[in-house]
A and B are shown apart, each in its own frame.
Chain A
Amino acid sequence: MSPRKTTRPPSSAAPSEQALVRELVTHLREKREALRRQWVQQMTAKGLLAGLTPEETETESVNIYDTCVGCLDTGEYSGAERYAASMAERGVLRGMTTEQIIGGLLTLRDVYGRSLFERYQRDMARLSAALDVYEPVANKILSIVALAFIEEREKVVRQQQEAIRELSTPVLQVREGLLILPIIGVIDSVRARQLTEQLLHGIRNSRAKVVVMDITGVPNVDSKVANHLVQTVDAARLLGATVIVTGISGAIAQTLVTLGLDLSKMNTVGDLQGGIEHADALLGYKVIASG
């Protein structure tokens, strides 16, 4: 998250607005303990603090409260951005649910808001002005934290995708001219392309005539990947190799037929054993039990 400096330069704000900001900041700082306690109480009642120790609750709530008031004071949000980033780093965000994070902040927003109502209830014009000053700040802080939370989650997802991609797809030679390509897990388009490269180069390097591609470990494929796999089989033929696909699941079978791909040239056998037996026949090997 690149730090953005959104500054409302205090000197260019209208003097009355400036005075109002000062007033609000002073008010929120004076009432800090009372309001903070109120906030914690409300969060506890809503069950938002599950999984946090009392010390953690104390420290975090103080930091968050002060950071928010600080943003109102300076008109600058780098403090909030830094704090949200540090929360994400410390893995707090990972342990907490969206409900807890957003719910917690919304509760604080309400607590601040109510406090403003209380203070200015006898002067509607002043209340309105106060809310005009306060609300954009509160909303901005909320979106900064929500964004940090989402980015953290997305980072985890990206890491997991990378891990899956790195599950290497070995191309194994089991006999002269026969390669086996066992595929496990989800195939996305990147992995599909990787697969094709490995397969075609494997055929060239080992001069294979038959490849048994086993997809028992693949739960399902989307239309792009299915198309890509069929193209890979066709491309292997141009290199003089036959591809036998084994282990097609019911779901994948449905996908392939529904897509209306030309499957007439595709060699399929139910399981890996059958596939190897078929490959042996094609290559002219015969397996005889000794003794």
Chain B
Amino acid sequence: MSVPIMKQGGVLIASVQSELSDTDLIQLRDDLLQRVGTLRTHGVVIDVTALDVIDSFAARVLSNIAQMVRLRGATTVIAGIQADVAFSMIQLGLALQGVTTVLDLEEALSVLAEAGESSNGSS
């Protein structure tokens, strides 16, 4: 089950629809990495609202995606971690250090818009 990735301006939006297997996660990572290089992408949003569970493998892959995407010149934002999932993750020590996390997609786009403006400078 692959995750649909949409493009909106300079931002890629990966919208997770259902629970992801380990293979799905790797597929997501590869897909995103491939598409980040195209057409001046400066941001990636991964919307995980639909995930009821984020285990250590998922957390590691998400963290890796953020690091790899950064190396390719874009910022990753994880959006929509559910309240209960958030607390479980912390209890397991999966704090997603160094990764920007926000409440929802709207917030993510707003954060990336600001980041995009500041990095472009005055036009």
Contacts and interface: CB of A to CB of B under 8 A. Distances in A.
A238 B63 CA distance: 13
A200 B86 contact: yes
Contacts, number: 48
B15 interface: no
A235 B107 contact: no
B67 interface: no
A277 B103 CA distance: 23
Interface string A207-245: 100000000000000000000000110111111110000
A232 B95 CA distance: 11
A143 B114 CA distance: 73
Contact of A240 (B89, B95, B103): B103
Contact of A234 (B79, B83, B95): B95
Given A239-B81, A239-B101, A196 B107 contact: no
B103 A204 contact: yes
A238 B107 contact: no
Interface of B: 79, 81, 83-84, 86-87, 89-91, 95-96, 101-104, 107
A171 to B, nearest CB: 12
B52 to A, nearest CB: 15
Contacts of B84: 200
Of the candidates A196, A201, A231, A239, the one having the most CB atoms from chain B within 10 angstroms of its own CB is: A239
A60 interface: no
Of the candidates A204, A231, A234, A238, the one having the most CB atoms from chain B within 10 angstroms of its own CB is: A238
A283 B73 CA distance: 27
Contacts of A231: 87, 90-91
A239 B91 contact: no
Contacts of B95: 234, 237-238
Given A235-B90, A238-B89, A203 B83 contact: yes
Of the candidates B86, B96, B102, B107, the one having the most CB atoms from chain A within 10 angstroms of its own CB is: B86
A235 B96 CA distance: 10
Interface string A154-193: 0000000000000000000000000000000000000000
A235 B103 contact: no
Contacts of A236: 86
Nearest to B91: A231
Contact of A237 (B83, B91, B101, B104): B101
Interface of A: 196-197, 200-201, 203-204, 207, 231-232, 234-241
Contacts of A237: 95, 101
Contacts of A240: 79, 101-103, 107
5 contacts: A204-B83, A232-B90, A235-B90, A238-B81, A239-B83
A107 B107 CA distance: 75
Given A200-B87, A204-B83, 9 more contacts: A196-B87, A203-B103, A207-B107, A238-B86, A238-B89, A238-B95, A239-B101, A240-B101, A241-B103
B90 A234 contact: yes
A238 B90 CA distance: 9
B83 A197 contact: yes
Nearest to A199: B83
Of the candidates A196, A231, A234, A236, the one having the most CB atoms from chain B within 10 angstroms of its own CB is: A234
A275 to B, nearest CB: 21
A261 to B, nearest CB: 12
Nearest to B104: A207
A236 B90 CA distance: 10
A191 to B, nearest CB: 15
A239 B101 CA distance: 6
Nearest to B97: A265
Contacts of A241: 103
Q: Report, nearest first, the 10 A-B pairs whose CB atoms are least far apart.
A: A240-B102, A200-B83, A238-B86, A235-B86, A240-B103, A235-B87, A231-B90, A235-B90, A234-B90, A238-B81
